[in-house]
Structures are given as structure tokens and as C-alpha cells.
Structure 1
């Protein structure tokens, strides 16, 4: 995808935020690292920081589906796209992405793993959704104002998961609370296979 620079009017309307903060609702997202700086991640200290460009590198993001299946051991990173710094703001940006999804019907239940059983937690109240049910619920809820109003953030319940919405420069974004680790550490069998659709 090619992104043209924001016009002055667009930049003013969005306060420079081109895609508000979110976690990906799929399993794994991959993007080619690009020299024009626009991607930011929300760090543990609640500060947005730019993702540094590395030549010949990929940015890999764990999505909601894998987070759920790991019992919260893997965490999807809250990220957003903003107006590039002043020295890059007039440049066109090329984004090359791949969003991997589980095939429809895969239950987002905990994987059969010793580590997940010991350290993970069940994240859903009641029925565990399938991969396609979760995607549909996230897509359908986008932009719908059905929140429990709070002082610091608003909450929406999707399939028993609390999704937090925080006002960021006038744009809503989601913050899911899960814990992080390397995917390799939760799989007991090295030949474990995930079925993905492309």
C-alpha cells in the first residue's frame, strides 16, 4: 500500500494520527520495516514510541487470536500509525503487510501446553469463540458506541473479554491487557503446527 502524506487539513483533523491505537484481531501480522517512521508502539510506561527502522528486517506482531490461545502469555502490541517526523513528513510511504488468520472455525481455546496450563489463564467467560467469530465481533464493534463509561477509559465486553477504549488525540483506540513472552516457550512439541489461512 502506498500512503501519500497527509494534507495540512487532514493532519489538523486527525492531530497527526493516521490509524488509532489497536491490537490486531488476527493471529500474526508481519510488515517489512520501512525507513519512513510512522509506526509507534505503546510502551509499558504508557508512552508512544516510534519503531526504529532496521534494513532487511520485519516487524512481527502477535494478534488477539494467538494471545487468547496462549492464555495471555503472548501479548499483542498496542500500536498506531502517526504522521512521520518533520524531516520525513512530505515523503510517500510504502507499506508491505501480511496478516495471517486462523482458518474459520478454530476455537480460540488454550493450546495444549504445559507452560500455558501453568502460567496462562482462561480469558473468556462462557462460550469460547472461534477465530471467525472473534474477527466478526471485532469488526462489527468498531466505531459502535456501546461502552461502559469510566473516568480513565471506557470498557466494552466482547465475548467475555474486557476491551478498553482510551481517548487518544480525539480518536478511540483499544487496549487489551495480556502478558508477553516468546511463542517458542509455550509450545511443548517442536513439530506443533498452526493452521493458517492466507
Structure 2
């Protein structure tokens, strides 16, 4: 059984003013010095955006290459400091560590019933193979933060957290979506219009901690995998880079490689809905969470994430107006003209996460299994 990170690396109780009272500083593990396989992900420096359209098209070319190979890239230069990101991680760690158990229970997401990520997901909720359950805890919230209960530990930081959410969506995510549009030679605000901040959708921010607390026997039963291979169901996912080597991407040959830490960077991956929009040209990234290298064991992996889902009524089907997709003869991935709106698919998918029989099954390395959700085939990878 692992020891709590606070005892291994230390933690600081910040209480210098009323706003920071009770804030717990999360101290991440040092970067690994071991020789482990890392994915060679493209780094897109968005700070060059203001240099004009030619530079923006060059960045879009980088994005195109990343989306047609790994489905991943690393975003830098987006104007939010490493310190601002670390503060959100501290807030998240405080919420996960200090919210009373009874309050967590009251604010349980019950995602299998609601299909929406709001509130806490407790540890040992996901059904893993051979009777093992997960060691992941989450607190999820939707960006408006107005129609869901907020835990007492987050209330002192609610205003700044909401401001952070808005900045990420409008100042960072919108530029990413404009790059997607440029890469497909579409009007620059095509994807921005699918993800308007002011309209309703099931996008969510997440504080998440992976606790290194599997017994040796359970580690063997799950093949040292902390979260099985999958594709995110939205348009894109933003993972704020962290030092622990644990997130892995899968290449076309079935090899799994760690993502390298880029301080202050965001790892961006393509989801299923973006794959639908492009008729499979842009690849929904296959990824999993694997145990870290030995010199990073017995520490908590605590991080911040944003999962971007299109506005509720958007139907992510082939963007036929794209000259790029027309030239490549890309076709709709839906059969018989069937489409599905973002809200319906998202809620059907979320309700199944960690609870359907496919999560309990034990399948071989690299094997692909398909689950039908709301009439749509969704792949999983061992």
C-alpha cells in the first residue's frame, strides 16, 4: 500500500490571507530519470498567433500532421503561467483531500444514472478486470458552475476558478479550434461556433488524483494499467502537463509510449467527435494511464483537465464544405445517414464509463474491442 504523497514529498498549508485559508499545496513527484519510451509529440507554440495568418497557417500545418498521426500534440505559449496552473492543481488537491467524506457522498456524480460528469467520482467506482477496482478520485464541474452544488472546500476559490475556466475556453481553446478550421481550410470560426461558451453543453473541467495504492496482487491482475486504453468521446481534451510519467499514447503498431512532461504545457488530444467531423482523417487518440517508472512510484498523480464537448444540439458529422476532406474523398462515418447530437451521445457514453462489461473483461495487448453506445460503435484498446 502506498504512502500518502504528503508524507513522502511534503505539503504546505497556505493560510496567508482569508482567500487562501486551508489551501493545501500539492508537491508533484520529480521527473523520472529512468530510460523509458516516450512519444515524440509535436509542440505547437501558440504565442506566435499574433504574427498573422501565414504563421497561423504554419501552426495549422503542424496540427494537421499531429492529428493524422498520433492524435496528440503539446500546446505552449498560450498566455497562462505555470504558477496559475499550479494554483488550480493546489485547489483541486485541496478539494479532493479536505472535503469531508459525508459531503463527497452527498455530491457523488452518479454518472451511471445521469450521464453527466458533475461532482465527485469516488475511488473503486470503475469495474476493472479480474475483480479489481480503480484507485482514481475526481471532482468534475461544468464551466458555468451555477447549476451544480459546489463543495465547501472549493467555495473560497470559486470566483477565480470560474475565471480560469473562462480564460481557458475563450483565450486558449478557441485558438486551438481556429487552428483545426485552418487545417481543414474552413472558415476560421467553424469549430468556435460549435463550442460557444455562452451556450449549454456537457463539457467539464476535472480535478483528478490517481492514488498508487494497488496491492502487488491487484497490479498483476490489471497488467499494471491504471486506466484501460480508450478514446475520449468529445472533440478535444486538454491535459495540463504534469511531471509523473503515466499517460501513454498508442501508435499504429500497437506500441504504448509515455507522454513527456512539458512544464506549463497542455497536452491536447483529438476525440471521437472530431474524428466524425473529419471522416476519420483526424484520429481520435488512443491512450491509457499506466503505472509510472519505478523512481516515481508511491506518489499521487494529481492534475487538471478540460474535456470539450460541442454545444448540445450540434451533430458532429462530416464537414462536407472542407476542401481538404473533399479532395481526400472522405465520407461520413455514420451508416445509412444516421447522425447523433452531442448531448445524446455524451450522456450515453458517460453513463457507461467504468460500468459496462467491457471494462471487466481481460483482453490481450493491442486488441481492439468495440462497444455500441446509443447505436454508435466506440472502440477500446487493451
TM-score normalized by the length of structure 2: 0.39
8 Å Cα contact 2:229/2:380 also seen in 1: no
User: In structure 1, what is the equivalent of residue 356 of structure 2?
Assistant: 144
Q: Kindly indicate whether the alpha-carbon contact (under 8 Å) linking 1:128 and 1:159 is maintained by their aligned counterparts in 2.
A: no
Q: Give the conservation status (yes or no) of the 8 Å contact 1:24–1:63.
A: yes
Kindly state the Cα deviation for residue 157 of structure 1 after the two structures are TM-superposed: 4.2
The aligned counterpart of 1:118 is: 327
Equivalent of residue 8 in structure 1, options 194, 215, 221? 215
Give the whole-Å Cα distance in 2 for the aligned partners of 1:135 and 1:101. 8
Structure 2: distance between partners of 1:154 and 1:76 = 15
SS class of match (2:276): helix
Partner of 2:44: none
Contact 1:29 1:62 in 2 (8 A): yes
Residue 4 of structure 1 and its aligned partner are, at CA, apart by 2.1
Q: Which has the higher strand share?
A: 1
Q: Quick one: higher RCO (CA 8 Å, sep 6+), 1 or 2?
A: 1
What aligned pairs does 1:26-175 form with structure 2 within 5 A after superposition?
26-111=234-319, 112-119=321-328, 120-126=330-336, 127-142=338-353, 143-145=355-357, 153-158=368-373, 161-166=376-381, 168=382
* 8 Å CA contact 1:41, 1:48 repeated in 2: yes
Q: Distance in 1 between matches of 2:261 and 2:324?
A: 33
SS in 2 for 1:91: coil
Quote the Cα distance in structure 2 between the aligned partners of 1:140 and 1:3.
Answer: 21
1:21 to 208, 229, 246: 229
Q: Deviations over 1:86-106 (max 9, x none)?
A: 110112212110111111110
Give the match's secondary structure for 1:102. Answer: coil
- Report SS of the residue matched to 2:309: strand
Instruction: Find the residue that maps to 2:348 and give its secondary structure.
Output: helix
Gaps of 5+ in 1: 169-198
Greater share of helix: 2
Distance (whole Å) between structure 1 residues aligned to residue 233 and residue 270 of structure 2: 9
How many aligned positions are there? 163
Q: Is the 8 A contact 1:30 1:59 kept in 2?
A: yes
Q: Distance in 1 between the 2:300 and 2:373 partners?
A: 36
